[in-house]
Amino acid sequence: MSDYVFPKLSPDHMISIIRNGLSKTKIPKKIIIVGAGMAGLVAASLLKQAGHDVTIPFSVLQFVDIEPYDSFSHNKWKAIRELHYAGSTKTGIQFKSKFWEKEGMYGGKTASDLPITYAQYPSHDLGTPGPGVILASYTWEDDAIPWDSLSDQNRLEYVLKNLATIHGKQVYREFETGVSHSWIRYPYSAGAFTIFKPEQATELSPYISSPEGRVHFAGEHTSTTHGWIQGAIESGIRVAYEVNDLPRTLFEPNHQST
């Protein structure tokens, strides 16, 4: 994780992150924990006003020495060790033309028993000429495991092969470029998002977001909206209130300031 926080989350900043990635350092020994990736960045921006740094999600925190160890409770360590992070892969491909529209695919997705699992088609700029981009493969959990074993380049090759089964050989003629990403192989998150395993909602939920002394925890994994930026925003606001000792009622949706 990086200690760098963008001053505001404008569309230009988001585009820069997508194109250039996040500026990263070695994994630091901080203990203000924020979720990984874009969700962590959103929460981090909200926490910056409180003067706190950004570090790592539970999945990577396991590799960081916390001293003294008992500064975290047994239940907090249990949550850190056991909270389940789902693996996920996505592969996007740009084609010379939107050939799928000629086949009646105006938005929506294809679900199959091929390894790509899901392919999603854009629902914007319909009927316009020029190149088009599709999310050619989206997998998570067990469906992502075979893809995690492949290099980014090999993933592209097999995704095209699967798409050819659906759309024919034209996918090779139309192919321009593509990009693939595996979150389970990403060292700064070691997983894509939180999905509770059986009983974890009951056993771990009370301890995931609770502060440990002066240490506060944010990120989508500490919210009730796992896997979405919304969860990171909610958790960032929650922690901003916590560290400023503001009443919890101020965070409640129906609260009206007087």
pLDDT for position 220: 87
Quick one: CA dihedral 162, 38, 32, 217, positive or negative?
negative
**Structure token pair of residue 56:** 């790592």
**Structure token pair of residue 38:** 């874009």
Percent of the chain topping pLDDT 90: 46
pLDDT for position 34: 46
Q: Give the up-direction half-sphere exposure of residue 8: CA atoms within 13 A in the CB hemisphere.
A: 3
* 85 neighbors 192 (Cβ within 8 angstroms): yes
Q: 142-163 pLDDT, tens per residue?
A: 999 999 999 999 999 999 999 9
**Structure token pair of residue 235:** 């958790």
- Alpha helix positions (H), the chain: 11-20, 37-48, 58-61, 74-82, 99-102, 145-148, 152-167, 170-174, 200-203, 205-208, 229-243
pLDDT for position 93: 96
Distance, in Å, from the CA atom of 212 to the CA atom of 170, rounded to the nearest integer, reads 57
Q: 110-140 pLDDT, tens per residue?
A: 999 999 999 999 998 888 888 999 999 999 9
Distance, in Å, from the CA atom of 189 to the CA atom of 58, rounded to the nearest integer, reads 9
pLDDT for position 181: 93
* 166 neighbors 160 (Cβ within 8 angstroms): no
Angle at 195 between CA 193 and CA 196, to 5 degrees: 145
DSSP assignments along 96-126, one per residue: SS-HHHHTT-SS-EEE-SSTT-EEE---SST
Domains of the chain, start order: 11-85+193-251 (3.50.50.60), 88-182 (3.90.660.10)
Q: 51-69 pLDDT, tens per residue?
A: 444 446 888 888 877 777 8
Q: Flag the least confident range among 10-14, 26-30, 201-205.
A: 26-30
* 84 neighbors 200 (Cβ within 8 angstroms): yes
